[in-house]
Structure 1
């Protein structure tokens, strides 16, 4: 199953949301790479196994399930999480890209490539829609945590 959606970061038509800089958004995404616990409920530990300037091999410990992934970053532009398929995890890829489609407008593009089937029927369709909805809610939480990190760093 492959799908993508946008989450609006800065919208000049919405004065209620304080604008974030590209640097603040990037820093928040990097925080998600280095320690995903604030971004993923139920995550007990996030261990970096190997690290280069643009790649990280990690182990995510959810208690009963441990997921290994590789994260690739293009600084200030995008981050890609590639999780291994196991008996307990479907595996797949999530790319989060920072885009500025218009002046003073910024969005995060979340692009999912999973091993779940594209061709679904009956209960499978409902399950696929549930997964998409859960990912979307998680992505909204990602922006919420990035905003909290940015606000916290502004206070110091």
Structure 2
């Protein structure tokens, strides 16, 4: 099993031209990402919601050519948990909003394993390198997409 996490300060650059993001804006972005991750996750080719229920949804995705089904559970303004239900990879991914408004952080963590490769194998090591690189990129891509959304809203309000 592969464990990886990445945590970034949301409003890290005080000189940035991007608007300062609030917990609510980040949360809205994470919900949008759960419903349609294509603008948020490089390497994702498909993201279709197939079922909705209070506090969760089920979606079919294609990531790096691999089909999978995920159950997504929402913990409002705190975290979103993605649990693999089918596909060649088992495990979960968590997107968390941490801290207070003055020091908000976004943490993505995951625990994944290839179902058809032994732990510690060369195939698992190669998988870790690729997946770690791709999932870590998703943190920055998610924040960039949320910032664009909020900037667009601020411009429309003018």
Q: TM-score, normalised by structure 2?
A: 0.80
Matches of 2:57 and 2:125 in 1, distance apart? Answer: 34
Shift in Å at residue 133 of structure 1? 2.1
Task: Provide the secondary structure at the position in 1 that maps to 2:40.
Answer: coil
1:140 aligns with 2:140: yes
The answer to whether the 8 Å contact 2:42/2:138 transfers is no
The answer to whether the 8 Å contact 1:85/1:91 transfers is yes
Matches of 2:70 and 2:152 in 1, distance apart? Answer: 28
Task: Provide the secondary structure at the position in 2 that maps to 1:76.
Answer: coil
Which digits, 9 at most, give the CA deviation of each residue in 1:74-110, with x for residues without a partner?
1111101112342xx313211001011x661111011
Q: Say what the alpha-carbon RMSD is for the aligned residues.
A: 2.7
* Matched residue, 1:31: 32
1:105 aligns with 2:106: no
Matches of 1:63 and 1:113 in 2, distance apart? Answer: 18
Matches of 1:47 and 1:61 in 2, distance apart? Answer: 9
Which ranges of structure 1 fall in alignment gaps of 5 or more residues?
none
Task: Provide the secondary structure at the position in 1 that maps to 2:109.
Answer: strand
**How many equivalent pairs are there?**
152
Matches of 1:114 and 1:63 in 2, distance apart? Answer: 15
Pair 147,118 (structure 1): closer, same or farther in 2 beyond 3 Å: farther
Matches of 1:130 and 1:57 in 2, distance apart? Answer: 25
Pair 120,35 (structure 1): closer, same or farther in 2 beyond 3 Å: same
Task: Provide the secondary structure at the position in 2 that maps to 1:68.
Answer: strand
* Matched residue, 2:15: 15
Pair 108,59 (structure 1): closer, same or farther in 2 beyond 3 Å: same
Matches of 2:20 and 2:95 in 1, distance apart? Answer: 19
